[in-house]
């Protein structure tokens, strides 16, 4: 039986920015870690995947920041698998404040990759008991991200500490590159209110730098994560 996972954590100062708000990388790491722990609790975690030569790969995150958590807040994190199809499984997240108010909601889409063929595996064949709850925290479809014409670009270094145990640049780093590429002045005047992240290709751990192509308006910025002519992700950030 599929149940929700719920955890409580206090937001520490080192997880926050200069104004005491949760950093984007903190948010992404919390979502990723919660998903991994829940998958393991459901019998579909890293050990099971290694034994069956498959891996969960996230393709999308849509994140709505209603009220960005602040330093020292006690937060309740909740996640559960929702819609599950033949090749894709969606996962919902909710973060609540100590008063019970919804702070952040997010939805994500995952595929189970066969490591021999590097192609999506049929979930029912690898995980016959996997299913999702009908409840959704946010009703959105995972449509393709529209292309855009960049107005600026910048280069970001791929650091040793950006590489995770899967031997590629960790997904959370993409959000950092996007939010940093808007520039200090823009970032200092705006508060992040949401992100749509569309992952396309992994980044090899030996890659020295990436190029971030950016187009921005007053309250929305669009980003492409590039190496040479390969597009690794598109990200839309919403601000106020």
pLDDT per position as a tens digit, 143-167: 899 999 999 999 999 999 999 988 8
Q: Where are the domains of the chain?
A: 5-126, 152-239
Of the chain, the percentage scoring pLDDT greater than 70 comes to 100
Evaluate whether the domain defined by 5-126 bears CATH number 3.10.129.10: yes
Regarding the domain with residue range 152-239, which homologous superfamily does it belong to in the CATH classification? Hotdog Thioesterase (3.10.129.10)
Dist. CA 224–CA 231, nearest whole Å: 7
The residues pairing with 104 across neighbouring beta strands, listed in sequence order, are: 65, 95
Q: What are the tokens at 162?
A: 């950006």
CATH topology identical between 5-126 and 152-239: yes
Q: Which residue has the higher pLDDT, 1 or 49?
A: 49
Q: What is the mean pLDDT of the chain?
A: 95
Phi, psi of 219 (to 5 degrees): -130, 15
Half-sphere exposure of 25 (CA within 13 A, CB side): 15
pLDDT of residue 56: 95
141: Cβ–Cβ under 8 A, 6 or more apart, which residues? none
Nearest to 26 by CA among 45, 13, 8, 42: 13
pLDDT of residue 1: 60
């Amino acid at each position: 039986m599929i149940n929700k996972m719920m955890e409580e954590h206090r937001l520490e100062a080192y997880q926050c920015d200069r104004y005491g708000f949760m950093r984007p990388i903190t948010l992404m790491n919390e979502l990723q870690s919660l998903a991994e722990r829940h998958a393991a609790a459901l019998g579909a975690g890293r050990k099971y995947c290694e034994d069956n030569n498959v891996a969960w790969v996230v393709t999308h995150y849509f994140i709505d920041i209603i009220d960005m958590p602040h330093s020292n807040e006690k937060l309740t994190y909740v996640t559960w698998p929702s819609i599950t199809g033949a090749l894709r499984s969606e996962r919902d997240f909710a973060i609540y404040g100590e008063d019970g108010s919804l702070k952040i909601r997010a939805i994500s889409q995952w595929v189970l990759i066969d490591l021999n063929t590097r192609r999506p595996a049929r979930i029912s064949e690898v995980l016959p008991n996997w299913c999702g709850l009908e409840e959704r925290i946010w009703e959105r479809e995972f449509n393709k991200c529209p292309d855009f014409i960049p107005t600026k670009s910048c280069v970001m270094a791929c650091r040793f500490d950006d590489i995770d145990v899967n031997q590629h640049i960790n997904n959370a780093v993409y959000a950092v590159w996007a939010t940093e590429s808007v520039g200090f002045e823009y970032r200092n005047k705006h508060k992040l209110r949401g992100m749509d992240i569309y992952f396309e290709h992994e980044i090899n751990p030996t890659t020295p730098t990436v190029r971030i192509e950016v187009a921005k308006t007053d309250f929305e910025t669009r980003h492409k994560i590039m190496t040479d002519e390969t597009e690794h992700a598109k990200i839309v950030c919403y601000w106020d």
